[in-house]
Amino acid sequence: MSQTNTAPLRQRALLTDEQLAHLPTHHPLKTAQTGESAMIRTLTGRSADHSPVWFMRQAGRSLPEYRQIREGIPMLDSCLNPELAAEITLQPVRRHGVDAAIFFSDIVIPMKLAGVGVDIVPGRGPVLDAPVRTLEDIKNLPELEDSALDPIRQAVALTVEQLGSTPLIGFAGAPFTVAAYMVEGGPSRDHLRPRTMMHANPEAWEALGQWAARTSAQFLAAQIEAGASAVQLFDSWAGSLGQADYRRFVQPHSAATLAAIEHYGVPRIHFGTGTAELLPAMLEAGADVIGVDYRLSLSEAQRRLGGGIVLQGNIDPALLASGWDALAAHTDSVLEEGRCAPAHVVNLGHGVPPTTDPTVLTRLVEYIHTQTRKAS
């Protein structure tokens, strides 16, 4: 059984006046709308009256209202329609009562807005018109113009206006995952091409990593400035890397993305799948909160991280379809494990499967809130 963590908290507790000065006057952290919410209190290492919960991919195919509103509309078009993106972002907050919204978008949106030919092919995923595999290819990549991010700012502003005291979490793909898609030209099981490129053409890899880091940082900054109260950097494919390659070829670019938004002071969550061996390096990249996938216990993650780290996770998505008794028992175990951290945001250890019964998620949120609510 896990024990309450007593290691010194390594996460700053509050935004400083200098950090707040970088946020626009209407920002919900500046107007005190979201700063005292359970989610932001927890992400910043402070106690809350209950453990907050949100789900990766909570806005998506598990919801019938999502499938209805997106019928006949391509994925990237949905992401770039501010009214539609805002509505999709809000749907799970209304239905489930989660403690935060996650901005509805896709990791290839910055690429698309920069002018790179990419689309999301149903049943396959992101596919580029042409892979990016040489230094010349990378030198010819267009830069992301600030004005191209206006639809993102509009969608975030529309969302935040309706969320009130519920915070919005912004989102971007980490540089390795973005670069891996670009080198492969589409999805891959093993990411051999980017892993080969790191060693065969390190100059080209460095240039591509820098490009991906810049665009991801711009994407996050636009969301923060428009009202996001926290952000998550999502590294879908980093689990394909060994620690040496991660530290040499990937960590500097993730660190550059996170450093570029540090001055805003919003909590920065870093999450990857299959990254149990990389957690200390991911923390060193500059994250404030570490997301843990379902493969590793929270107590072991905390041990590997050295203690005092705010954690997010890590209910196994497979348990959502296993029946309530099994799910409740597993959730109890995760909540107990979360006591090893100074603060714990409850989430899945990966995204919501499309086949999930949404009533299960609603019941799970209510259960977590009930189980963790502190007596007044």
Give per-residue pLDDT as tens, 164-186.
999 999 999 999 999 999 999 98
Using 50, 70 and 90 to split pLDDT, how confident is the model at 19?
confident
Percent of the chain at pLDDT > 70 equals 96
Residue 205 lies in a domain: yes
pLDDT at 269: 98
Residue 7 lies in a domain: no
CATH of residue 222: 3.20.20.210
pLDDT at 296: 97
**How many structural domains is the chain composed of?**
1
> Which residues face 289 on adjacent strands?
269, 310
pLDDT at 203: 98
pLDDT at 375: 63
Residue with tokens 């189980």: 371
Residue 133 lies in a domain: yes
Q: Which residue has the higher pLDDT, 15 or 196?
A: 196
Range of the domain at 289: 17-372
The chain-wide mean pLDDT, for the chain, equals 94
Which residues are known catalytic residues?
57, 61, 70, 106, 181
Encoded amino acid at 83, one letter: E
Segment 73-91 shows an average pLDDT of 97
Residue 301 lies in a domain: yes
* Pairing state between β 168-173 and 289-291: unpaired
CA dihedral of residues 204, 206, 212, 213 (deg, nearest 10):
-170
**What is the pTM (predicted TM-score) of this model?**
0.94
Residue 89 to residue 117: CA distance in whole angstroms: 25
Residue 6 lies in a domain: no
Residue 2 lies in a domain: no
Q: Which of 74, 61, 79, 87 is nearest to 122 (CA)?
A: 74
pLDDT at 374: 82
Q: Count of CB atoms within 10 A of residue 124's CB?
A: 10
Segment 242-263 shows an average pLDDT of 97
Using 50, 70 and 90 to split pLDDT, how confident is the model at 13?
very low
Residue 306 lies in a domain: yes
pLDDT at 18: 87
The per-residue DSSP string of 155-170 comes to HHHHHHHHHTTSPEEE
pLDDT at 36: 94
